[in-house]
Amino acid sequence: MSEKIEQLLAGLGQGDKKALARCITIVENELEGYEELLYSLPQKNTIPVIGITGPPGAGKSTLINSVIKMLTADNKKIGIIAIDPTSPFNYGSLLGDRLRMAEHFTNEDVFIRSLATRGSLGGLSAKILEVVDVMKGFDFDYLFVETVGVGQSEIEIVGLADLTILVLVPESGDEVQTIKSGVMEIADIFVVNKSDRAGASAFVKNILTLVHSRLGKEDEVATPVIRAVAVSGEGTAELIQAIGEIHQHKINSKRSFLLTEKAYRLIQNKRMKDVQKGNLQKMIEVESGKPGFNLYAFVREFQ
């Protein structure tokens, strides 16, 4: 192991945030030594990785903010990865809104890192798996991953997180029947945020009906449905309790599934490493102007 990587890993184990930030930068940008760093990461499988997803405007950031306040008051160390949308045209970040968590930026018990999706359609950065594992090498008590909330493709989060929280609002009531076959199926915990609004009680009943219909095995734990008003902290304590209970139940049963999903994504990313979308577009602009252009024949050259 190179001396540089050895020093960074030592800093990671000692709780050095600068070492953590540097390790993330090396892995995210595939700088010199990034594979060596990944191969040498300490394996800490007890830190819960919690995915938080849901449609835009559901209040995910506000909910995380409320959870952070309560956990840090209990002297817990929190890591947060916020996935920011990326422009499909120039692959630059669209300046994700981290303002609701701004008060925690100087908190020594909180580490917040934003990652751009860089063209990923599922709301997750292509490097998210590696970054999560780097952060698991630090002495966090909880890791939260907030996704961009882009719809059905959010199911990718289930292959990353130990448990997934789906944040909805009462106005989502009319959409439940259309989305339950996709995003609704991934939730380990439902949070109905802004539940002081009209229609919240009826919406919660609809979610509970869905939850009961999903129960198949006798030993399966019912999915919690929590009413919350994130701006006031209502429901936060119940959510933290549910996270602990669900994680304890899933920590062993979901392990092989998670490892399989991660391995699949890593292999997929590795094989696609030399295929850059921007370069691909330039090639297609040239080739598609030629007589007899066939997309399938073009794609075959990359197989």
CATH code at 184? 3.40.50.300
Average pLDDT over residues 98-119: 75
Q: 7 Cβ partners below 8 Å, 6+ apart?
A: 19
Domain co-membership, 233 together with 109? yes
**Winning range, highest mean pLDDT, from 90-99, 162-171, 206-215:** 162-171
Provide the pLDDT for residue 238. Answer: 97
pTM flag (> 0.75): yes
**Taking 70 as the threshold, does the pLDDT of residue 47 lie above it?**
yes
Helices 3-13 and 17-28 cross at an angle (nearest 10°) of 130
Report yes or no on 288 lying in a domain.
Answer: no
Provide the pLDDT for residue 153. Answer: 45
Domain co-membership, 93 together with 12? no
pLDDT tens-digit readout, 203-251: 999 888 878 776 655 446 778 999 999 999 999 999 999 999 998 877 6
Report yes or no on 292 lying in a domain.
Answer: no
What is the pLDDT confidence band of residue 89, given thresholds at 50, 70 and 90? very low
Report yes or no on 267 lying in a domain.
Answer: no
Domain co-membership, 65 together with 111? yes
Q: 223 Cβ partners below 8 Å, 6+ apart?
A: 187, 188, 189, 190, 211, 214
Q: How many domains does the chain have?
A: 2
Report yes or no on 180 lying in a domain.
Answer: yes
Domain co-membership, 75 together with 9? no
Report yes or no on 264 lying in a domain.
Answer: no
For residues 11 and 219, the model is more confident at: 11
Report yes or no on 188 lying in a domain.
Answer: yes
Domain co-membership, 4 together with 22? yes
What is the pLDDT confidence band of residue 174, given thresholds at 50, 70 and 90? low
Provide the pLDDT for residue 134. Answer: 94
pLDDT tens-digit readout, 241-279: 999 999 887 766 667 777 887 788 788 878 887 888 888
Query: Which backbone phi and psi does 167 adopt, to 5 degrees?
Result: -100, 125
Domain co-membership, 127 together with 170? yes
**Taking 60 as the threshold, does the pLDDT of residue 181 lie above it?**
no
Domain co-membership, 191 together with 239? yes
Domain co-membership, 36 together with 53? no
Report yes or no on 79 lying in a domain.
Answer: yes
Report yes or no on 193 lying in a domain.
Answer: yes
**Taking 60 as the threshold, does the pLDDT of residue 110 lie above it?**
yes
Domain co-membership, 26 together with 50? no
Average pLDDT over residues 81-110: 63
Domain co-membership, 77 together with 148? yes
Residue-range definition of the domain harbouring residue 14: 1-41
* Other C-beta atoms lying within 10 Å of the C-beta of residue 234: 16
Provide the pLDDT for residue 57. Answer: 83
Lowest-confidence segment of 34-43, 124-133, 154-163, 266-275 by average pLDDT: 154-163
Domain co-membership, 29 together with 48? no
Domain co-membership, 106 together with 231? yes
